[in-house]
Structure 1
């Protein structure tokens, strides 16, 4: 029996990510005509973490008020089709999404981060040293290829659990995608052992400073409490991820054409073949580029873990690595590089991730059409948040706990920032859990699982789309692969939350 795909066989093709976001924006616009807007009051809270006092502005749980007109009727602020003077209308969502936020986060900061990373790796890849170095190393460890999956998965999962690794996974996808293809796997495998692993660690963390620590501080429970339970949960979900990834990777290795990204992986296969040509005369220049790359990665890890470096610093660090690699490539004439090739490669590398960067801005446009995510502004999102909270409290404890998890999963589609979602939802969910008979520790658990796992599939996650762009996988292809694993994670997380309710996790 032939293992090749039947070209006449039709496969389901999901809409492009831009199309999906556009229709979600339309739905958001409809909601502005049907759902009244409301506001919350906010307050500054403090909590202790690692011996330091942290502060955060959060909403006041019982302060929700619908905005009313002079006749006392709830106000519905239907969004206009177009708004001038910098306001947000339905068709303004692209530009306004692009320019929203700051360099520290969504959307403009993340977009710039993605483009700089893409440009830097465009230079590094142009030297030809990475593929050649990869092949050189793999030749030394022949027969140990399978170890890369569990080892990398555990390391990246720890990165997500310990310091909230997310955007940092993008450059590693660029590095490991050709590695996985060279090993006979595919680019999906590379995304699994990098980005997916980070988000499993992020979701099950016992000490993530951007997720569980903030949520516990806001909820008024000891920060980093319940660590034993969460460590066991991290180990269990990480093992599930490793098993699922290894099973998939071995299937692809046995029949490469069974991969959903077999066609787009041709880019990496071609680069691997070029790397084989370079490997035969792997010289000092190639070695210096590889050393610069590893020194840069060490610099990034040091910066994140010891100094709290984030998007601006990491982007510049990788830009420096790309610039140094380009200078080395030009000096040693690697791959016939000249000085102008540094600029051209940066431009081409950024172009490869431009589509992913644009998704970040478009996704932010969804929230802007709904009125934004500021608690003190009259928005549809505030009303939805309040309504969901009231609905959850009317069920028994186990169902209430599970509904909290379900709500956090859905809400993450609109607010993909872990710390942002914690600031919006936990001031409401924490006291709500008291009324529902669910411990606040369970409320935090429902938040972190709902926030973390849905990052693996929602097209509004800029980090996911950027990782997919680095792996040259479109979101529709990824969704076809990920949906089964997503279902497994959802079922297991539901069991964990319900189990935590029944055992009174505290």
Structure 2
């Protein structure tokens, strides 16, 4: 009688991981006391400050420097009048406990529905991208392009990793390039696999390029600029230090990726996802045969040019603050019409191909909605302000080096509960930044700690983009953790050392 093979324990899917985190977040709303800071917002039409207290009552105050000084908000009035600070900010010393708002079974069930409704703009963007990728694949453009690029990079394939990571990092550090990179995985994954790398190398090149860029932001208006304004300083303070740190962190990351990529290239069995590679290759190289590749003719070259030309237009729109996801979706929808015309496919074939491509990313868009559900549960539980209140009390009167290091760790913790970079900046900076004065260091250190702490946690946080990314390329979360945790530790130690250095400069 043959022995039955022992069934391997499968790591849960991204959806299960998110639902576990969702339930843990709901449990926290029973344990962590609910509380709120009063918030101040500048009303442009009336030229006054509106203050909302913990009871939800709104009062009006003159929009003057004297008002800010009296409320212990150590910021210049010009930051509000110029529009640099648009979101409500927390008023120091106003934290109050409120009635507990635990999130039970019904809120847990409803939160993914609300999450989908809140993120529908991102979901539409991703679905349109899926459709357009399917359309381009149908024309054979990517296969022909892969073959051409493979011939050009033969023997120096890692240059592609360096180029992709560096380019995305520049986008991350200047305007927070993150969600937009989802469009790159279906394009670059076949190229990386055909070059002898595995899916993790492709994820690392794109996701870590974005993560390092946004973590070590230099002039990103959605994080470091808003945080500096909310801290009452110019974003140029500490800029040179942040640029140097970005370059060093990028070098560390590329060396780490290179060591792993080189091992996989020498022997595919060294891949962390070796058992899944056949399935992944079938998905991304289904019609790709290096011995029988369709020609890279004028039609396919033109299709690729039209598609790639959309990206600099998108970067312009987002970086100028004129566009967000609805406009980006409109851009790629227009590109879809052009490519459908150039493809030579019949109307019916083009439409069905687009719909099939969009359908392939249904799982990805649902993950985005479920991830948002976690934040909804915590927001409705009114525990975010309490966590900020507790963390700010921890770091009072610490010595300089320890103050900076602990701040980064605390911001990484807060970043899990408040994933919006601008939201965390406007909520926390008026509370955290003045604490730098008490230990005799620049407030730029607090801005750096905020940016690095939140960005560091983004390497793994399930409420961020990583689970949607992994779902797109069929890699499980545990495999990503196995790859990224050593690098996360290295970058964490590097960041703390650099923060300690910043306190004495």
TM range (shorter): 0.7 to 0.9
Contact 1:200 1:238 in 2 (8 A): yes
Contact 1:170 1:195 in 2 (8 A): no
Q: TM-score, normalized by length of structure 1?
A: 0.85
Secondary structure at the aligned position of 1:457 is classed as: coil
Contact 1:123 1:323 in 2 (8 A): no
Q: Counterpart in 2 of 1:449?
A: 452
Q: Within the alignment, does 1:245 sit opposite 2:242 as a pair?
A: no
Q: Which runs of 5+ in 1 are unaligned?
A: 1-7, 68-74, 83-88, 101-106, 332-336, 373-377
Distance in 2 between residues matched to 1:468 and 1:30, nearest whole Å: 27
Further displaced range: 431-440 or 224-233: 431-440
- Cα deviation for residue 208 of structure 1 reads 1.0
Distance in 2 between residues matched to 1:483 and 1:9, nearest whole Å: 29
Deviations 1:57-105 (A, max 9, x none): 21112211112xxxxxxx32222322xxxxxx232222122223xxxxx
Distance in 1 between residues matched to 2:416 and 2:205, nearest whole Å: 23
Aligned pairs for 1:22-101 (under 5 A) are 22-44=19-41, 53-56=83-86, 57-67=88-98, 75-82=99-106, 89-100=107-118
Deviations 1:444-498 (A, max 9, x none): 111100111221211110x323332333323232222212211211121122222
Distance in 1 between residues matched to 2:279 and 2:302, nearest whole Å: 25
Q: Counterpart in 2 of 1:285?
A: 299
- Cα deviation for residue 273 of structure 1 reads 6.5
Q: Is the alpha carbon distance of 1:135 and 1:407 closer, same or farther for their aligned partners in structure 2, counting shifts above 3 Å?
A: same
Q: Which runs of 5+ in 2 are unaligned?
A: 43-75
Q: Counterpart in 2 of 1:21?
A: 18
Deviations 1:211-249 (A, max 9, x none): 111100100011232111111101100101111111111
Q: Within the alignment, does 1:396 sit opposite 2:414 as a pair?
A: no
Q: Is the alpha carbon distance of 1:267 and 1:339 closer, same or farther for their aligned partners in structure 2, counting shifts above 3 Å?
A: farther
Q: Is the alpha carbon distance of 1:29 and 1:431 closer, same or farther for their aligned partners in structure 2, counting shifts above 3 Å?
A: same
Q: Counterpart in 2 of 1:321?
A: 335
Choose the corresponding residue for 1:353, options 361, 381, 393: 361
Q: Counterpart in 1 of 2:316?
A: 302
Contact 1:165 1:202 in 2 (8 A): yes
Q: Is the alpha carbon distance of 1:267 and 1:298 closer, same or farther for their aligned partners in structure 2, counting shifts above 3 Å?
A: farther
Contact 2:172 2:212 in 1 (8 A): yes
Secondary structure at the aligned position of 2:84 is classed as: strand
Choose the corresponding residue for 1:339, options 338, 341, 347: 347
Choose the corresponding residue for 2:159, options 147, 164, 170: 147
Deviations 1:341-363 (A, max 9, x none): 32333333223322222222222
Q: Counterpart in 1 of 2:49?
A: none
Contact 1:215 1:423 in 2 (8 A): yes
Deviations 1:32-67 (A, max 9, x none): 223321121112367879x96423221112211112
Aligned length: 464
- Cα deviation for residue 262 of structure 1 reads 3.6
Choose the corresponding residue for 1:499, options 476, 498, 501: 501
Q: TM-score, normalized by length of structure 2?
A: 0.85
The RMSD of aligned alpha carbons is: 2.6
Q: Counterpart in 2 of 1:274?
A: 287
Contact 1:265 1:472 in 2 (8 A): no
Contact 2:192 2:198 in 1 (8 A): yes
Q: Counterpart in 2 of 1:221?
A: 233
- Cα deviation for residue 272 of structure 1 reads 3.7
Distance in 2 between residues matched to 1:361 and 1:273, nearest whole Å: 29
Contact 1:114 1:466 in 2 (8 A): no
Distance in 2 between residues matched to 1:280 and 1:108, nearest whole Å: 37
Contact 1:17 1:476 in 2 (8 A): no
Contact 1:152 1:194 in 2 (8 A): yes
Choose the corresponding residue for 2:470, options 463, 468, 471: 468
Contact 2:460 2:466 in 1 (8 A): yes
